[in-house]
């Protein structure tokens, strides 16, 4: 009796344990399904990414950077024939986004710059000078929807760009003189800027935009090295001579200006000194006239002494007649009585 009771209790406990396990399994299953549905319903676009959402193979949404204005500047690219992105919505920004689980698929592309570098190729300038050049370009995926349709990956995009960048640059090199190609950086930069704009106009339907493009490296063939160096030397000598001529002209102008200023200062000083001398002589004459008017006899005597002082030298004997004006004045002054006035 006791053994049967124990077996019944054990069976009851086992059934309850099995029910509990099944309940837990169901909860875990539901929880797992929720996690899977949630994971399939959201996707995250990081700072360096942009995304394309496809629904049954057709593009429905595009996620781009907030700084990306390519689609806004080129709205016609959203209606490219065969691109299947006519009714596509464009989301701007990064972070968490929602999608239909198991139906929508997300393709992500980097939003940073890619670098294209060509192989070394031979080119000829308009004056038949030969060079070996390497070209590079900085490009980005400006419209990921168009890129997903036309290129699909960066390797194919690199080949696509090579077939368009290389002929454009070769044509511009062929139309440029070797002296301008090597030395005239301002002209060549303008040529490359025009070529970049021309290529961007041709490839905008691919979703690619070139932001910079230049000749990365220029190698001279042995036969052209000396002639190119001679041209570079002649060009530098021409520039140096131009600087020397400008310096000499500036020097001559400054010397002439300084000489003119010096002459003006000297002339002004001479004029001022003559005015001072004239004023002094006029003042002296006025003093002489005043003195003469006060005592004419004394003035005559003083003038006589000055004349003697000027005309006589050391050990000089002067013989005068008593009627001579100098002697008469001296004799009169010597015999003049200050008390009587005679």
Distance CA 124, CA 129 (A): 5
Rounded to the nearest 5 degrees, what angle is found at the Cα of 53, between the Cα atoms of 50 and 55? 170
The pLDDT of residue 330: 61
Decide if 174 contacts 126 (C-beta within 8 A).
yes
Provide CB contacts within 8 A for 326, sequence distance 6+: 304, 307, 308, 320
The pLDDT of residue 8: 59
Distance CA 100, CA 90 (A): 17
One-letter-per-residue 3-state SS of 157-187: HHHHHHHHHHHHHHHHHHCCCHHHHHCCHHH
The pLDDT of residue 336: 56
Helix (H) or strand (E) holding 106: strand 104-110
Decide if 144 contacts 207 (C-beta within 8 A).
yes
Helix (H) or strand (E) holding 191: helix 185-203
The pLDDT of residue 52: 92
Cα–Cα distance list, 320 to 23, 274, 285 (Å): 165, 40, 30
Domain map of the chain by residue range? 2-41, 46-219, 235-294, 295-342
The pLDDT of residue 1: 47
Distance CA 49, CA 96 (A): 12
**Encoding tokens for residue 13?**
């406990």
Decide if 220 contacts 131 (C-beta within 8 A).
yes
**Encoding tokens for residue 320?**
């005068």
The pLDDT of residue 209: 94
Q: Name the stretches of the chain with pLDDT < 70.
A: 1-13, 79-86, 217, 220-228, 297-298, 300-301, 308, 311-314, 316, 318, 320-342
Distance CA 68, CA 77 (A): 14
Decide if 87 contacts 93 (C-beta within 8 A).
no
Distance CA 166, CA 153 (A): 20
Decide if 76 contacts 86 (C-beta within 8 A).
no
What kind of fold does domain 46-219 have according to CATH? Answer: Tetrahydropterin Synthase; Chain A (3.30.479)
């Amino acid at each position: 009796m006791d053994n049967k009771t124990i077996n019944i209790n054990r069976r009851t406990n086992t059934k309850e344990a099995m029910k509990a396990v099944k309940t837990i399994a169901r909860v875990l299953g539901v929880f797992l399904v929720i996690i899977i549905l949630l994971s399939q319903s959201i996707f995250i676009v990081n700072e360096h990414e942009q995304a394309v959402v496809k629904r049954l193979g057709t593009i429905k949404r595009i996620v781009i950077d907030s700084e990306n204005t390519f689609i806004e500047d080129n709205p016609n690219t959203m209606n490219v024939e065969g691109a299947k992105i006519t009714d596509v919505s464009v989301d701007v920004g990064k972070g968490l986004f929602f999608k239909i689980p198991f139906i929508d698929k997300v393709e992500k592309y980097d939003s940073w710059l890619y670098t294209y570098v060509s192989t070394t190729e031979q080119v000829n300038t308009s004056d038949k000078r030969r060079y070996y050049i390497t070209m590079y370009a900085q490009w980005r995926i400006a419209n990921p929807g168009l890129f997903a349709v036309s290129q699909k990956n960066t390797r194919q995009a690199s080949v696509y760009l090579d077939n368009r960048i290389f002929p454009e640059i070769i044509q511009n090199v062929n139309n440029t003189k070797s002296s301008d190609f090597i030395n005239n950086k301002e002209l060549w930069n303008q040529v490359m800027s025009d070529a970049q704009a021309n290529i961007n106009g041709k490839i905008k339907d691919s979703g690619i935009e070139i932001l910079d493009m230049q000749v990365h490296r220029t190698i001279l063939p042995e036969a052209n090295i000396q002639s190119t160096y001679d041209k570079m030397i002649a060009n530098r000598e021409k520039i140096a001579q131009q600087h020397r001529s400008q310096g000499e002209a500036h020097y001559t102008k400054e010397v002439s200006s300084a000489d003119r200023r010096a002459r003006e200062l000297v002339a002004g000083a001479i004029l001022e000194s003559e005015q001072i001398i004239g004023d002094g002589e006029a003042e002296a004459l006025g003093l002489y006239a005043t003195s003469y008017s006060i005592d004419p006899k004394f003035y005559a005597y003083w003038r006589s002494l000055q004349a003697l002082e000027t005309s006589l030298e050391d050990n000089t004997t002067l013989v005068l007649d008593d009627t001579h004006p100098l002697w008469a004045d001296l004799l009169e002054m010597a015999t003049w009585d200050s008390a009587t006035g005679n």
